[in-house]
Amino acid sequence: MKRTLTAVALLAAATAAQAQDKVTIEFAYPYSHLFDVTYEKILPKFKEQYPHIDVQMRAAYEGYEDGTNTILREAVSGNLPDVTMQGLNRQAILVEKGIAKSLEPFIAKEADFAKEGYHEAMLELGTFDSKVHGLPFSVSLPVGYYNMDLMKKAGITEYPKTWKDVVSACKTMRANGVSNPMFWGWNITGNWFLQAMMWSQNEPTVKGNKVNIDGDAGLTAFNTMHTLFRECEMKNLEWKEALSSFATGEIGMMFWSTSALGAVERAQGDFTLKTGPFPGIEGKPMGLPAGGNSAMLVSTSDDPKELEAAWLWLKFITSGEGAAEVARTTGYMPPNKAANEIILKDFYDQNPNKMTAVTQLPLLREWQAYPGDNGLAITQVIYDGIERIVVGDADDMEEFREELFEEVQELMPANGS
């Protein structure tokens, strides 16, 4: 009897000790349809290396806007997670408001941080006030998705190089009985493709406190969209509908982020899918905005053990095997040299569709944020504006540009503030 009691006591002590060593960190990420598979792969690997850290996944954010918003709200109500994944253009606001913590103290403690494969240009995307706040996790670029069967049916053998080529391809396809030839991803977070059209002409969308759409570049961007939507008779599909319609083989050409490649391939029907470079306005685009997200530390904990655990998780998913899983499961590129060049050496040879974005990397430009409190509202205004072109509400592009410029500019912070 006595012996059993001792055993029980010992056992209890042991579990208590174990429980003490166990650290739980909370984590949240956007776009579950893209990333669920990724984290399912990463988590067991992390667990193997750090069995004492328990990563709890919070409900996924619907998109980047929702993610930023949720963090802002949680900061007010005081239930922030420890690590959050944020859109590359939404990091600034969290740094400004003091919610995201600087990662410098952790980086300083790492003996050979540079060897992990983070290189300057990539870290740049998450650096504010010359302090690293976010570690990029996945980077994407816009590409063209082509249903080769439908293209062949219409007698098209070459990828369109400019938007004019796309329009003529649309017409040939429609003439050959493809009723839904093209979908253009204007609705990706509302403004990413607008920035793509601007960078294509080597123009930023935001210049200081001014939105740069009032010039010729803006007009060209809107005119190109107008021609594309009207001439191709593009349907106003919701993005999930568009992805599923393309995956079932209904749509001939889809211009979208490379990020969805993994999801589309998993759902793909019986047709040959190829990706090609993003068309330009006259010839090759001069630049394209980087999409994607980065990991930020937003923990409010004072416990050094918990912070350490959060850092280990952050580092694990953005380097080495963790980062390599991003490329394997999605269409994103891991912004980590080591993962790209060593672990994934053969991967891109075997997956040429995922290679398209990598070849476009020299065009990579910043995904610009809209300054001030109205950042999310501006995104919505641009979304609503472009939707007006899509549904045929706006036909005079000069007038449209004027209206949109005024409406956005008014939401930008006043000069000097």
Cα 122–Cα 128–Cα 129 angle in degrees, nearest 5 = 130
Question: Using the 8-state DSSP alphabet, how is residue 113 labeled?
Answer: G
Using CB under 8 A, pick the residue from 276, 374, 402, 409 that binds another protein: 374
Q: Name residue 265's beta-bridge partners.
A: none
Kindly indicate which of the ranges 209-217, 272-280, 340-348, 373-381 contains the residues binding another protein, using the contact rule CB under 8 A. Answer: 373-381
Work out whether 99 is an interface residue with another protein (CB under 8 A). Answer: yes
325 in Cβ contact with 42 (< 8 Å): yes
Kindly indicate which of the ranges 19-27, 140-148, 194-202, 380-388 contains the residues binding another protein, using the contact rule CB under 8 A. Answer: 380-388
| Closest listed residue to residue 188, CA positions, set 280, 63, 290, 361 | 63
Among positions 242-261, residues that touch another protein (CB under 8 A) are 245, 250
Work out whether 391 is an interface residue with another protein (CB under 8 A). Answer: yes
Using CB under 8 A, pick the residue from 22, 52, 97, 152 that binds another protein: 97
Cβ proximity to another protein: between 69 and 300 the closer is 69
* C-alpha atoms less than 13 angstroms from C-alpha of 387 in its C-beta half-sphere: 14
Q: How far apart are CA 186 and CA 382, in angstroms?
A: 10
Number of residues in contact with another protein under rule CB under 8 A: 29
Using CB under 8 A, pick the residue from 25, 26, 65, 312 that binds another protein: 65
Using CB under 8 A, pick the residue from 37, 107, 219, 237 that binds another protein: 237
Using CB under 8 A, pick the residue from 22, 52, 73, 152 that binds another protein: 73
Q: How far apart are CA 12 and CA 304, in angstroms?
A: 26
C-beta of 130: minimal distance to another protein in Å? 24
Who's near 187: CB < 8 A, 6+ residues apart? 238, 239, 383, 386, 387
Q: How far apart are CA 224 and CA 357, in angstroms?
A: 22
Tokens at 181, concatenated? 């030839």
Kindly indicate which of the ranges 110-118, 211-219, 234-242, 350-358 contains the residues binding another protein, using the contact rule CB under 8 A. Answer: 234-242
Among positions 154-183, residues that touch another protein (CB under 8 A) are 179
DSSP characters for 173-201?
Answer: HHHTT-S--EEE-TTSTTTHHHHHHHHHT
Interface positions with another protein (CB under 8 A): 65-66, 69, 72-73, 75-76, 97, 99, 179, 235-238, 241, 245, 250, 373-374, 376-377, 380, 384, 387-388, 390-393
